[in-house]
Structure 1
Amino acid sequence: MSKSKKKKKQSASDDPNNRTVTRNRKARHEYEILEDLECGVVLQGSEVKSIRNGKVSIEEAYGRVRDGELWLVGADIAEYPQANVMNHEPKRSRKLLLHRRELRKFAESADQTGLTIVPLALYFKNGRIKVQMAVGRGRKMHDKRDKLKKQSDRREMRGAMMKHQ
């Protein structure tokens, strides 16, 4: 009798069609996040290949509403070496895809003074590249210090609770 081969169940972290490529870790430190939204991105083929290889940075990127459309400005997607002639411009503005009613709601909240649209993460979802955009209010230096102090206090309390158990 032959043994039947069992197929390994693929976990979500192993699936190349559902994985996070990059996160903007500074955004949550620099901004108080008020609202976030998932958007699709209009890309060229060489850009998708570079993103699959992880050659992308959204640290200095931000969102801008122009002519009733949302654009991702300043995202750096490195050139794909094998694309030679058909390559893309690394720092070009990229159009974001979302429903008109979502854009209207999102843009209204971003129009308020002191609010900025920032990307939080770039990831694959069902084989498509998505960007998580957020409306945030810039933090002052003392706000950042307060946040860090609260985090360290929480960590210390959690450690003390674990010690006593």
Structure 2
Amino acid sequence: MAEDIVNNATEMLSFRLGGEEYALSILKVQEIRGYDAVTRIASAPEYLKGVVNLRGIIVPIVDMRIKFKVGEPTYDAFTVVIVLNIGGHTIGMVVDSVSDVVTLTPDQIKPAPDMGASVATEFLQGLGTVGERMLILLDIDKLLGSEEMGLLAASRAAA
């Protein structure tokens, strides 16, 4: 997927977490929904809010605001869940708000800077610029598929 971004123009869904604007490939997005109550799972990490039943599919809901430590999350009319399809698995991602769909060309994308061991950049595809906006481009497959998150491994084991 990183090659797709470098070699071609690509459409990205931009969204806000705290004061920052992030983006991910629109091809991973199944739908965007308002935030609804979730069923909590005992002993789950704090960022895993729980699960919801989405038309007969049990979907884990991850609050990226908690995962990325970007302030105290509030749940209001603007809070949305981006429902993603990652490797055949459906996962919901809570964000502050969805901004828009942007098309980025290769010249608008710069590599993520190396910020040392204190900042995990392995989940970043780079930084995109649209006018005065700076978008942090997430490699959502790597992030949600990471061993640390444990989401895809857990759903594979249950299958």
TM-score where L is the length of structure 1:
0.26
TM-score where L is the length of structure 2:
0.27
Pick 1 or 2: higher relative contact order, CA cutoff 8 A, min separation 6.
1
Q: Which has the higher helix share?
A: 1
